[in-house]
Structure 1
Amino acid sequence: MPWPLPWSMLCSTLWAILLAIPLASCSLNESGQEDLVIPELVRTHLYVSPSGSDSNPGTRDEPFRTLGRAAQALTPGTTVHVAPGTYFGGVRTSTHGTAEARIVFESTERGGARLVPPLDSRQPAAWDNRANYLDIIGFEIDGSQYQSGMKWLSGIYNGGSHNGIHHNTVHHIGNDVPCEARGGAGIGIDSYYKGIDAEVTSNRVYDIGPPGCRYMHGIYVSTSASVRANIIYRAAGAGIHLWHDASHVTIRGNTVAGCGTGIVVGAGDFYHSKGPNEHTHTVNNIVYDNGYGILEQGATGSNLSYRNNLVFQNPGGDWKLPPGRQHSGTVSAAPLFADYGRTVAAPDFRLQPGSPAIGKGAPAPDGDAIALRPPRPTDIGAVPYTEAEPAGLPSPAAR
């Protein structure tokens, strides 16, 4: 970047720094001693729009044009508001937030901000995040319009810690790449860079990988995580796959259909741990019409559970668990989706009246937000049964 900076960019940079500094002061108490007043976080807001310019200061009235420019301007506590429109992917984020000052990228209209491959793609992921305490909310990641350069193997790749991937739609990733062991995923939560503790909730992931490729998955997890209320279909490998350092994972209230395998719980080929996968709980999921159902592989411990899942019509076998491992509360019947078929472009995964998934789920654990609502039987799957509301993905708290 040339120096001196343009005046508008210099002002915006100084203004962002000032906004990120917490406000604090001291006062005298009755004994004449100074009391420290705990500072309150002053959040910074940046804006991105297709009508913006990267020479703008990133304000509401003068937004940036690209997510990459917004990523350069981040400080802890920044929220990036992204207007509806089409943007080039290949985004990389590496600025850390904190527990008290998370960084948030949010599409101002759910699914309105759409990332597509650039003309000369240079990254294997639409969004590569290595930062901690960062949330990605409400984007569409569409790999179908590949032009030239490197093909995407991942929609959202997360190598950081304490991050959230919520309410995104990720589709047509790696449909025509060679099937190689390095693999890829619609959403990848990785331990390679020592990332831990991710939340992957209420995403819709579909059309991942070339046909028959067991290395391309819907959601891939190799660390500790919570995977809840996601809809995954037509992933060549597994809808949800746990491997490497995966442990302490909650897989709750997801719907997986039309994939090579529904859910794989395992660990092996370790990066930083010695295994096994322990304290992973697979609860209230619909696993229907996949090549295989729920499998357990590799290094797994004794503290795993499989409760109240609907597992049905998986020709290779609904279950493959090690000797002595039991599943409980399983429903073995068709879920009765509103409109489903492997060739249906946009399946409707709402439950029809009379679905065996209605009210057959395990109750939410104590402290979950759903426990604060009036008592109601818990449904199995990502879309709770309702007669009043239209189809859609539930909030993270709903499962």
Structure 2
Amino acid sequence: MIQIRNFYRRRQRAPAATRARSRFGALPPSMLVLLPLLAACSVQDNHPVTVIPQVVPAELYVAPDGLDSNPGTRAAPLRTLARAAQVVQPGTIVNVLPGVYHGGFRTAVSGLSNARIVFRSSERWGARIVPPPLSSNAAAWDNRASYVDIEGFEIDGSAQASGTGMEIGIGAGNAASTGMKWTTGIYSGGSYNRITGNHVHHVANSIACTSSDGGGIGVDSYYKGMHSEVSGNSVHDIGPPDCRYVHGIYMNAPGTIRNNVVYRVAEAGILLWHDAHRVSIVNNTVTASNRGILVGGGDFYHTKGLNDHTQVINNIVYDNRFGIAELGATGPHNSYRNNLVFQNPGGDWSLAQGMSHSGTVAAAPNFITYTRSGTPDFRLAQRSPAIGKGLDLGADQPDFYGKARPNAVEVDIGAAQH
């Protein structure tokens, strides 16, 4: 039986209250007599100071040869994403040039609905985020802000994958990453965020399964986050073998999970829990994991009800131990339509009593190339049974490989459009 812990709780306790002290209580009486005179002198002697507020440009640039003392222009870029995260404001676009960057930072400045903050790799997967030499954060990217886009990065935790240390490749002579191991690739605790087109891999491979939980990409409701989108990402090699607490894409709030490829995950490729409801899981491909898609609810943070009105449509769930399942507090309005579910020996389907699925394709998907090791090519070969068997859901994003999906009857099942 799957065991699910309160994975994404990151409580920050307020510091203990301290007794108020007199401002000058520790000074000798003789000094107290001089204080009014000193204060008067300081007021009279100070020269006027002109404060010039920092102006953040509409676009910032980050590059491996930059400096955090730079203004962040194209000609004088910043060096770290951590510094960029400190100076952004609503509407800022942060362009990260190809190269290797240390992870373990937090983004905490929110955008607005009409002025989103965008962090984007200038080339898809060209900006590679790796563990620092001395890791002090359990997440590669810890986002607590709202209206933020994270686009096109590679999150590579392989420096911690074996537990014995590997060179991380930033300059000469850098030691392997030590300290706190990453349990999470991209964590997002805000609302209305978009995590799109990233490559998240080899995260949490060597953690102790009983000591911490994690995943590739996590969208959390603990800080009242909601309605975020996870789309077009590659998430693989997540978690230590046989660990039931580490997942590929984890969402516990309303939102959308679309056009992702997920494989070789210790537990669920896609997991819904806690406050998840009204989630759209559409056109994903999940393989070689313990469970394919798990729709569940329980251990609620802010809601009191069921995971209901969730849609699981047009997904390929193939060659996992288990296929698509419901667990815990789920509702009667969840729908499972036009999915390809096959070769999951523990059971292709396990839905709550009274629930059913429709339009299911029970056949091998016939990918271009597929093995349980290496890098599969999840595009559909000729005569794949997934071609043209998906539901037309109206205007849609391009598929995982960037190909447009037709707004007609020829929509394919899975993350790749033939």
TM-score w.r.t. the length of structure 2 is: 0.81
Matched, 1:107 2:121: yes
1:160 equivalent in alignment to 2:190: yes
Name the SS of the counterpart of 1:100 in structure 2. Answer: coil
CA apart distance, 1:15: 2.6
Q: Distance in 1 between matches of 2:128 and 2:103?
A: 9
Coordinate RMSD, CA, aligned: 1.6
**1:14 alignment counterpart:** 54
Pick the aligned partner of 2:65 from 42, 51, 73. Answer: 51
In the alignment, which residue of structure 2 is the partner of 1:381? 414
SS in 1 for 2:363: coil
The match for 2:134 is 120
Is this contact kept in 2: 1:313–1:334, CA < 8 A?
Answer: yes
Residue 341 of structure 1: CA displacement?
1.1
Which deviations, in whole Å up to 9, do the C-alpha atoms of 1:252-274 show, x marking residues without a partner? 00000000100000100111111
Amino acid at match of 2:415: A
Alpha-carbon distance in structure 1 between the residues aligned to 2:116 and 2:280? 22
- Structure with the greater alpha carbon radius of gyration: 2
- Counting only pairs closer than 5 Å after superposition, residues 25-174 of structure 1 correspond to structure 2 as 44-146=58-160, 147-174=177-204
* Residue of 358, 364, 377 corresponding to 2:387: 358
CA contact (8 A) 2:391 2:409 kept: no
Scaled by the length of structure 1, the TM-score of the pair is 0.85
Aligned residue number for residue 308 of structure 2? 278
Q: 1:321-354, CA deviations, whole angstroms, 9 ceiling, x for partnerless residues?
A: 11210100000000011111112x1111111101
Pair 1:175–1:85, CA change in 2 (3 A):
same
- Within 5 Å, give how 1:328-339 maps onto structure 2: 328-339=358-369
Aligned letter for 2:410?
P
Asked if structure 2 preserves the Cα contact closer than 8 Å seen for 1:333 and 1:356, the reply is yes
- Say which of 341, 349, 370 aligns to 1:340: 370
In 1, are the aligned partners of 2:405 and 2:411 still within 8 Å (CA)? Answer: no
Match of 1:295? 325
Q: Give the 3 Å change call, closer, same or farther, for CA 372–156 of structure 1 in structure 2.
A: closer
Q: Which amino acid aligns with 2:380?
A: L
Q: Is contact 2:392–2:408 with CA below 8 Å preserved after alignment?
A: no
> Where do 5+ consecutive residues of structure 2 fail to align?
1-50, 161-176, 399-403
Structure-1 residue corresponding to 2:9: none
- Deviations, residues 51-91 of structure 1 (Å, cap 9, x unaligned): 10011011110000000010011111100000000000012
What amino acid maps onto 2:219 in structure 1?
Answer: I
Give the CA deviation at 1:180: 2.7
Partner letter of residue 131 of structure 1?
A
What secondary structure does 1:141 align onto? strand
In 2, Cα distance between equivalents of 1:144 and 1:170:
10
* Matching residue of 1:208: 238
Paired residue total? 347
Secondary structure of residue in 1 paired with 2:141: strand
Q: Rate the CA distance shift 1:303–1:199 in 2: closer, same or farther, 3 A.
A: same
Write the mapping of 1:297-336 to structure 2, written as runs, cut at 5 A: 297-336=327-366
Q: For 2:84, what is the secondary structure of its paired residue?
A: helix
Q: Which amino acid aligns with 1:326?
A: S
Counterparts of 2:190 and 2:99 in 1: how far apart (Å)?
Answer: 27
1:222-251 alpha-carbon deviations (Å, 9 max, x no partner): 111100000000000100000000001000
**Separation (CA, whole Å) in 2 of partners of 1:190 and 1:284:** 24
Please tell me whether the aligned partners of residues 181 and 215 of structure 1 are also in contact (alpha carbons under 8 angstroms). Answer: no
- The structure-2 alpha-carbon separation of the partners of 1:369 and 1:230, relative to structure 1 and needing over 3 Å to count, comes to closer
For residues 87-114 of structure 1, give each alpha carbon's deviation from its aligned partner in whole angstroms, at most 9, with x where no partner exists: 0001200001000100000000000000
Q: Output the CA distance in 2 between the equivalents of 1:189 and 1:150.
A: 21
Counterpart Cα distance in 2 of 1:374 and 1:267:
33
Sequence identity (%): 58
Q: State how far apart, in whole Å, the 1-side matches of 2:215 and 2:134 are.
A: 21
In structure 2, the residue matched to 1:223 is 253
* Counterparts of 1:213 and 1:90, CA distance in 2: 23
Change (3 A) 1:372 1:212: closer
- How many Å separate the matches in 2 of 1:347 and 1:373? 24
Q: CA deviation at 1:364?
A: 1.4
